[in-house]
Structure 1
Amino acid sequence: MMKKSLAEFIGTFALVLFGCGAAVISGKTPEGSAAGIGLLGIAFAFGLSVFVMAYAIGGISGCHINPAITISMLVAGKISAADAVGYIIAQFLGATVAAGVLYAILQGHLGFELKEWGLGSNGWGPGYLGEYSMTAAFIAEAVLTFLFLFVIFGTTSKFGNSTMAGAAIGFTLVLIHLFAIPITGTSVNPARSFGPAILAGGMALKQLWLFIVAPIVGGVVAAIVWRGLFEEK
């Protein structure tokens, strides 16, 4: 159990550090020009993080690195409650430590200022990226998490190709980010939202509830649908 939890800690740490780091450091140049990696680059940073960690820790913990996935697997009967609790604690800790490391690095940049929704935090409404409504944000996060979990269940089942599961899951996350970055910055992962929000405070922390509730709702529905309609008894 200790090895599994540590693997989840490291995997979630890597996801938040690479993904959020790409968004706030490499997303644009210091001068704000278009020479940065942009939306496509940020999407690939998150997707490739999951892709590589799936092969690094998949054999140890299954590479959930996302409380919504862990809860969904619990509902589907694929993980014990004890393991789920350990996973979730490790995921939140990993994300928070990663956000702290990212903050420490950013403080070394001349003129750095922690702004509203800083450190790659998720959000919605006036002042945040595309300024979408709370309803739009909730629908996007719930539906996209459902689709994400459906791909995970499908590729890791006997119907899928287990050797390609990491690639399929990683590229699905890329697609999700390409769609949702302008809406919410893309969470589909409560831990990924928790770490940056805790340090950024302000609106990021006030709006954190949506990025915990919506992905869990989407994940639970995916587990129920998969278990009820697709999984052979």
Structure 2
Amino acid sequence: MAEISLIKRSLAELIGTYVLVFLGTGAVVTAALLVKGWTPIPGNEFNVGFGISEWLAIGLAFGLAIAVMAYVFGHISGTHINPAVSIAMWATGRLPLMDTLYYIVAQLIGATLASLSVALLWGSLATGNNFGATTMASGVSYWQAIALETIATFFLVLTIMGTAVDKRAPSGFAGLAIGFVASLGIMAIGNLTGGSLNPARTFGPYVASMLFSGQNLWWQFPIYIIGPILGALIAAFLYDYLGDLKSKQKA
């Protein structure tokens, strides 16, 4: 079989990221609309307005989107749909630098287009929740947020390495495993950081917030760059060590 061109693989990454961000942040916006009458619980500064049922729905929306896209585009681009994953694959010798740059640009474009679609289709209803943007909850420190994103992304990329990258793993289950661990990560830390695990997932809503609601959230963006990339790198190198993967495979 002829190798799929970089342009086609990048387009697959763009579409996959679009699907992820549109469905995931669409679920966030919808959840915010459904709990419009919510009132804070006295003394609970971490309560951002969503109960566990809302976080379950949001986590499943993101996780199932990842799982489906893994089955749709996994054999074309690897379905990274996450700059942190692409960087980890590059750092461990599985993705050339030029491919990595193309993937990241495509992912950011896909996420931005998805958030612009949410802004267009939900309109003013989405502005109150900043188009599903991830932000720190009150009472969470900057470094605390970075640590939470690092740990959750570590779990995600460790699962990717063990089920999708390592060719010794049983076939056919990678998408479900990766989707489930993403859902669990979002449910675990969503109330504290929004549960990004993905710089592109945060980038798109930040662009929409800046353009349509005048909110400047970019001062928090380093959280969602440093945390996910650090977690992804630790997971990728650790799995290479534990799994004794001496033969580097392309992602």
Q: 1:46 and 2:55 equivalent?
A: no
- TM-score under structure 1 length normalisation: 0.90
Q: Structure 2 counterpart of 1:168, which letter?
A: A
Identify the range of structure 1 (196-205 vs 18-27) with the bigger mean alpha-carbon deviation. Answer: 196-205
Q: Structure 2 counterpart of 1:88, which letter?
A: I
Deviation at 1:74, TM superposition (A): 0.7
Identify the range of structure 1 (37-46 vs 1-10) with the bigger mean alpha-carbon deviation. Answer: 37-46
Q: 1:80 and 2:88 equivalent?
A: no
| Paired residue secondary structure (2:186) | helix
The match for 2:233 is 220
The one of 152, 158, 166 aligned to 1:150:
158
The match for 2:141 is 133
- TM-score under structure 2 length normalisation: 0.84
Q: Structure 2 counterpart of 1:223, which letter?
A: A
User: Against the structure 1 CA distance between its residues 113 and 100, is the aligned structure 2 distance closer, same or farther, given a 3 Å change threshold?
Assistant: closer
Within 5 A, what are the aligned runs for 1:113-192?
114-115=127-128, 118-126=130-138, 131-156=139-164, 157-192=166-201
The match for 1:18 is 23
Identity fraction in percent: 37
Q: Structure 2 counterpart of 1:79, which letter?
A: L
Deviation at 1:135, TM superposition (A): 2.0
Q: Structure 1 counterpart of 2:21, which letter?
A: V
Deviation at 1:32, TM superposition (A): 3.7
Q: CA–CA distance in 2 between the matches of 1:225 and 1:35?
A: 35
Identify the range of structure 1 (187-196 vs 154-163) with the bigger mean alpha-carbon deviation. Answer: 154-163
| Paired residue secondary structure (1:114) | helix
**Is the Cα–Cα contact under 8 Å of residues 22 and 42 in structure 1 kept in the other structure?**
yes
User: Against the structure 1 CA distance between its residues 124 and 31, is the aligned structure 2 distance closer, same or farther, given a 3 Å change threshold?
Assistant: closer
**Is the Cα–Cα contact under 8 Å of residues 27 and 41 in structure 1 kept in the other structure?**
no
Unaligned runs of 5+ in 2: 1-5, 39-49, 247-251
Q: 1:200 and 2:209 equivalent?
A: yes
Unaligned runs of 5+ in 1: none
Count how many residue pairs are aligned between Structure 1 and Structure 2: 225
Deviation at 1:2, TM superposition (A): 1.1
Within 5 A, what are the aligned runs for 1:49-128?
49-107=65-123, 112=125, 114-115=127-128, 118-126=130-138
